[in-house]
Amino acid sequence: MKEIVMFTSNTCPHCRSAKAYLDEKGYKYIEKNVQLDQFARQEMMSRKMMGVPAFIIGNESVVGLDRFKLEALIDYTVEVCPHCNHRTRVPKGKGKVKVICKKCTNDFVVQTRNM
């Protein structure tokens, strides 16, 4: 599954919204603060990304909190176990998928979609 990297700054209100969105959806991400980390700032500039929040998902870049673009690039969804409420990543676009919860070993079936 594709790694999500998010570039942020301390003073950016849109960055706080982006973090809240990713957290709410259950997406795991690596946060790189361009105010505190000069290497993160250089990485962002080398990719010609200007402004935060900015994201790298796989080989693609997105500048700004564009939920539609982010959802299109993220290749998994997060499903909740009906038995213990543990959240598990499931690949998108695979039809019906049997999921075995890593926490309680309950198995359940979910219908996956591309978006």
The 10s digit of each residue's pLDDT in 87-109 is 998 998 899 999 999 999 999 99
Q: What does the pLDDT read at residue 46?
A: 96
Q: Are residues 69 and 80 in the same domain?
A: no
Mean pLDDT across 2-29 = 96
Q: What does the pLDDT read at residue 112?
A: 86
The 10s digit of each residue's pLDDT in 34-92 is 999 999 999 999 999 999 999 999 999 999 999 999 998 999 888 999 999 999 989 98
Q: Are residues 68 and 87 in the same domain?
A: no
Comparing CA positions, the residue from 19, 103, 28, 2 lying closest to residue 54 is 19
pLDDT band at 115 (very low <50, low <70, confident <90, very high): low
Q: Are residues 69 and 86 in the same domain?
A: no
- The rounded distance, in Å, linking the Cα atoms of 79 and 99 is 9
For residue 24, what are its two tokens?
């709410």
One-letter identity of residue 76:
Y
Q: Are residues 18 and 62 in the same domain?
A: yes
Which range of residues forms the domain containing residue 57? 4-73
- Sheet of 30-33, strands arranged across: 30-33, 4-8, 54-57, 60-63
> How many structural domains compose the chain?
2
- Domain with residue 53: its CATH number is 3.40.30.10
